[in-house]
Amino acid sequence: MTSGAFAVVATTREVLDRPGLGPHLLAPWERRRLDAVRVPSRRDDVLAARLLLRLCAARLTGRPPEAAGPAQHCPECGRDGHGRPRLPGHPGLGVSLSHADGLVAAAAGPGRVGVDVEPAARRPGPLPVLRRLLPEAELREAARDPDPGPALLRAWVRAEARFKAGPPVAEPVLLLEWTDRPRAAVAALAATAPPALLPLAALPGDAAPATD
């Protein structure tokens, strides 16, 4: 068990190759959502991210992965199945997930958490859009860099993680940002509890095997 918040970054393949992990661990509404994703590689990314989220939630709560599923409710349209994920029965805990082109990330912790992962080669833009979304100070700093692309990407990933952690309430979020060189990924974790990065191997490994 960890007292702070933590995030794990992996490739989609690393997660799907783990024994015992598969669509059988997802709730029926999650499987319906997965079936609606037409592009196979993107479907794999969504599946891997949702499985990684379960493993993070299992580590945080001590529950088995199959019993550590999230609920999602969208305050904009009032429907279930999308919107910020939460853990039913654990109102004090936060969870978050992210996926992008063969990379996945998930996070869990006390309070609020938000995680984002992007391929290191991705370049966010265009600039007018970034101006609306990123803090002015971060844009200015990135512009001073001889090669602003990577700095803009890191600013983007931090902004996404902050956004996913939710609107600022009483407690400010702490930010952890890192580059995962072997996986060519840039990721950030925003959390109200002290944020840490964990390896995939730190997550519970013995999910219930498929019965069908």
Peptide bond connecting 40 to the previous residue in cis, omega within 30 degrees of 0: no
Of 76 and 212, the one with the shorter C-beta distance to Zn ion is 76
Of 82 and 123, the one with the shorter C-beta distance to Zn ion is 82
HSE at residue 39, side-chain half, CA atoms within 13 A, is: 7
Q: Looking at residues 148 to 187 of the shown chain, list those that interact with Zn ion (rule: CB under 5 A).
A: none
Tell me the C-alpha distance between 154 and 123, whole Å. 10
Among 85, 47, 84, which residue's Cα sits nearest to residue 69? 85
State in angstroms the smallest separation of the CB of 130 from Zn ion: 25
Q: Looking at residues 32 to 91 of the shown chain, list those that interact with Zn ion (rule: CB under 5 A).
A: 74, 76-77
Of 1 and 77, the one with the shorter C-beta distance to Zn ion is 77
Residue 137 found at the interface with Zn ion (CB under 5 A): no
Local structure of 99: helix, strand or coil = strand
Q: Count of residues for the chain?
A: 212
Number of residues that bind Zn ion (CB under 5 A): 3
State in angstroms the smallest separation of the CB of 27 from Zn ion: 18
HSE at residue 9, side-chain half, CA atoms within 13 A, is: 26
State in angstroms the smallest separation of the CB of 78 from Zn ion: 7
Of 50 and 183, the one with the shorter C-beta distance to Zn ion is 50
Of 81 and 125, the one with the shorter C-beta distance to Zn ion is 81
User: How many other CB atoms are found less than 10 A from the CB of residue 135?
Assistant: 12
Tell me the C-alpha distance between 134 and 40, whole Å. 32
State in angstroms the smallest separation of the CB of 84 from Zn ion: 11
Residues that bind Zn ion (CB under 5 A): 74, 76-77
